[in-house]
Structure 1
Amino acid sequence: MRISKLFLSVILSISLFAQTSWAQMASTEALFEHRVTVSPKEKVMQFTAREDVAKMLGQMDVDPKMIEERVASMTDEEASQIAQKIDSMPAGSSAAGSLIGAVVFIFVLLVITDILGFTKVFGFTRSVR
């Protein structure tokens, strides 16, 4: 009994001096030593220079030189508002893709409920009941 109390007191005293580590998510900026800051006007220019955006602007008959002139004539406040909108846009989403995904999900859900016998929507399925 005396040894177990001694052992317990040693373990507790060691644990008091041990450092506790806290797991946290590390941001990308925290992982890199230097931060690259881009001005809002440069961000807008980089966005309009992207291949997909340039292609869409070309389909609308927008001249790239005119875009450069317009961005250069913007105030810093206007450019920062546009850069903020660029940052908040969803990446790679389209309404058509989302709609097709929703339709496929509902179709699969109805087929499964037909097979399980909860609904009878499609005539090509047989219930397991």
Structure 2
Amino acid sequence: MREFPRLPHRDPPARRPAATLARLALTGACALAVSACVTAREQRAMDRGSCAEYGFEPGTDAFAQCMMGVTQHREMLAQDRRIAMQTQIAAQNREDERRRDLNRLASLQRSGDRSYPVCSASSFNNSGFDARSGSWYGPNCRAR
């Protein structure tokens, strides 16, 4: 019996979340791009082909039910994708807000510490303006 050479050890996907997430995002983007290239007429023809493959005869009530079911299924999947995207955006917005709050708090705590520069609009990429205190904040600066 022939033995195959062992492949080098790789970390499981759980240890590489960024790479896994990037791969998943790329796969999703490709699938979305490909699905966006199908016209309504082509989609209808593919649906008809699917229902015919299931054994339904065109022009019958069963065929019409199949077509309706396929359409509803596609609409449900699209709705699920929209909800997932909205959930992802909301999570990212919460994370961004949390990061801004931490930067704001750190900048306020550094007030008066001359080892940090005073925050300004043009100083840092992640700077922001705190309307409550009337001062700029950022990850590596002080409020005043």
TM-score (norm 1): 0.30
Query: Which is higher, the Rg of structure 1 or of structure 2?
Result: 1
Higher relative contact order (CA 8 A, sep 6+): 1
Which one has a larger percent strand, Structure 1 or Structure 2?
Answer: 2
In terms of fraction of residues, the more helix-rich structure is 1
Give me the TM-score of the superposition, normalised by structure 2. Answer: 0.28
